[in-house]
Amino acid sequence: MKTRFKIAACAALSLTICGAVTARNIPKEFGTEINALQQLREGRETFRYATFGDEKFWGDGIGLHLAIAGAANGGVGPGVSPKAALAAGLKVDVNALPRTLQRSLARGKVDLDDPETTLALLKLDAVVGVTGIFEGNKLTSMGIQCAFCHSTVDDSFAPGIGRRLDGWANRDLNVGAIVAMAPRLEPVAAVLGVDVATVRAVLNSWGPGKFDAVLFLDGKAFRPDGKSASVLIPPAFGLAGVNLHTWTGWGGVSHWNALVANLEMHGQGTFFDPRLDDATRFPVAARTGAGHTRAEEDLVTPLLPGLQLYQLALPVPEAPRGSYSRSAAARGEAVFNDKGKCGTCHVPPLYTEPGWNMHTGAEIGIDDFQANRAPDGRYRTTPLRGLWTHAKGGFYHDGRFPTLAAVIDHYDGHLALGLSSGEKADLVEFLKSL
């Protein structure tokens, strides 16, 4: 009974006390639960705090920390004040702030225009997804984490300052503008075979909520229509049961985690994907040997199991009460599964196909530019749960449809559904409820 209680408490209260539960005092039948909880805890640490050694790139390499600190604090340029950081979409974890600091902040006694305050926040590990590396009070390097793009906060303290929401897409974050501040972009320019001014122009073309992971594989920064080739940051929750991931179905969660940690964040690890040797589709990756990455010390691979489990366990946030009409959503569900034909691809309750969840651009009525930047030349059926958390930035991989109503109008035309305006409105309410 005692052990049962311990496990229940472990699950209900906090994962941290599971560390104290040793394999020895747990009967064998609970081994799986304990293993899962320990891995979840490890995975959460990784998702929130692991840099995988990527400070070698972000700090030591391109010197982004120098631009954050500013000349007055041993860096370069004006530095990044907390106000500027929040404006660029960075988030502050209120739970990392000591009570005294929270009180001073609430009273307006903290200078939010001074980059030195940003350094203090970094020292507290309070900037979501960013790790500052310090010698004394001097910022000497920095790294980023998964949480940089895939977490936000609930704004409970102030806009941009609150409790962490892991797995939510940060659609405020202007990744490109942040990276463009780095003083030493020469290594990036060299990899892409362009000059630094071009790299800055490309980074500044992305805008908030977007990133272009394939740029460093194929060197394509713009679509044939001249618009940015970047895509929206998707959520990292609700992915259990889903086969292929990313907008274009690069692989399973663990494949993509390894790709991102090694090739995008520039962590120190091992990554194998010989599909990247295709010099026609991936000229940059084929040249740099990205599909055969091996660092001296592998700081990524040991973290992959827990990281995957954590993401798969992240629940889909429930749509807030009153954010949609229940009766309309119930009618919309029927349209979704019947006349709208949505459920043929977005199969409930996964809202993607169990199996090989991929379609050509022609099947969904769009161009195949982005699909062709991935090995299978297709788009992955997006799992739709939690849509309400990332309405900012639009829908589809590049945000081409500004609203859910626009998405439905597109399908109505492309699939010749003949939906009435009432049916369309009901369908929107259903999508908002997922």
Residues lying near ligand HEC in the complex (CB under 6 A): 144, 146, 148-150, 175, 211, 213-214, 231, 233-234, 236, 239, 245-248, 253, 256-257, 260-261, 265, 307, 311, 340-342, 344-346, 359, 363-364, 379, 381-382, 384, 387, 395-397, 404, 407-408, 411, 427, 431
Q: 157 or 395, CB closer to ligand HEC?
A: 395
Cis peptide leading into 349, omega within 30 of 0? yes
Q: What's the min distance (Å) between Cβ of 387 and ligand HEC?
A: 6
Q: 111 or 367, CB closer to ligand HEC?
A: 367
Identify the helix (H) or strand (E) that includes residue 123. Answer: helix 115-123
Q: What's the min distance (Å) between Cβ of 65 and ligand HEC?
A: 16
Q: 94 or 371, CB closer to ligand HEC?
A: 371
Q: What's the min distance (Å) between Cβ of 302 and ligand HEC?
A: 13
Q: 88 or 364, CB closer to ligand HEC?
A: 364
Cβ-based neighbours of 63, under 8 Å, separated by 6 or more: 76, 182, 183, 184
Q: What's the min distance (Å) between Cβ of 161 and ligand HEC?
A: 21
Cβ-based neighbours of 374, under 8 Å, separated by 6 or more: 214, 246, 248, 249, 250
Q: 66 or 427, CB closer to ligand HEC?
A: 427
Give phi and psi for 198, each to the nearest 5: -65, -40
Q: What's the min distance (Å) between Cβ of 5 and ligand HEC?
A: 34
Q: 82 or 235, CB closer to ligand HEC?
A: 235
Q: 161 or 384, CB closer to ligand HEC?
A: 384
CB 267 within 8 A of CB 51: yes
Q: 119 or 236, CB closer to ligand HEC?
A: 236
Q: Which amino acid belongs to residue 434?
A: L
Nearest-Å Rg of the Cα atoms of the chain is: 23
CB 92 within 8 A of CB 128: yes
Distances (CA, A) of 26 to 12, 16, 41, 291, 404: 17, 16, 18, 42, 50
Q: What's the min distance (Å) between Cβ of 42 and ligand HEC?
A: 13
Q: 157 or 271, CB closer to ligand HEC?
A: 271
Q: What's the min distance (Å) between Cβ of 415 and ligand HEC?
A: 6
Q: What's the min distance (Å) between Cβ of 418 and ligand HEC?
A: 12
Identify the helix (H) or strand (E) that includes residue 380. Answer: strand 379-380
CA distance 297 to 295: 5
- If one counts every other C-beta atom within 10 angstroms of the C-beta of residue 241, the result is 11
Three-state secondary-structure class, residue 426: helix
CA distance 33 to 39: 10
Three-state secondary-structure class, residue 11: helix
CB 226 within 8 A of CB 294: no
N- to C-terminal Cα distance for the chain?
39
Q: What's the min distance (Å) between Cβ of 93 and ligand HEC?
A: 16
